[in-house]
Amino acid sequence: MAQQTADNVAKVNTEKYDFGKIKQGVPVSTYFEITNVTDKPLVIENAFGSCGCTTPEVPKEPIAPGATTKLKVNYNAAAMNHFEKTVSIKFAGITEPKVVRITGEVLDEKAYSDYVKANGSKKATPSKTTTTTKTTKTS
């Protein structure tokens, strides 16, 4: 009998999200979409970041079979330099968590301002989030 793994019960829209260049001290967030690929409700027991600077917000409701929910991940952007952080998502009844990553580079105010002026890049905006959709529920 095959052992259940996180990849057998849920699919995530992306394994890694890159914030690009962000301004120091301006928190950013993104959403990871999690789809239940089983025929039973799926519960996210917990999710935790690799350090205190990365905080996921765990959805409270079980994910219905075939439905999708969003896990919001916040990054505080306090420390300068490149960052790579992991978020571990623990599903009920599954031993190993699903791990997703966030990356980016935190710049001080002057460097960030210079970057935006030089590139005119919308990727540099600190309030980046992906679009949101409602969680699908079945009765």
Domains: count for the chain: 1
Q: Encode pLDDT of 108-134 as tens digits.
A: 999 999 999 998 765 544 444 443 333
- Give domain status of residue 53, yes or no: yes
What was the pLDDT predicted at 138?
A: 42
> What distance in Å separates the CA atoms of residue 113 and residue 26, rounded to the nearest whole number?
13
Q: Which domain holds residue 116?
A: 6-120
> What distance in Å separates the CA atoms of residue 107 and residue 113, rounded to the nearest whole number?
9
| Residue 107 near residue 21 (C-beta atoms within 8 A) | yes
Q: Encode pLDDT of 80-93 as tens digits.
A: 999 999 999 999 99
In this prediction, the residues of the chain whose per-residue pLDDT falls under 50 are: 1, 124-139
| CATH code of the domain covering residue 116 | 2.60.40.10
What was the pLDDT predicted at 127?
A: 41
- Give domain status of residue 129, yes or no: no
Place of tokens 């949101």: 132
The amino acid occupying position 73 is V
Q: What global pTM score does this model have?
A: 0.82
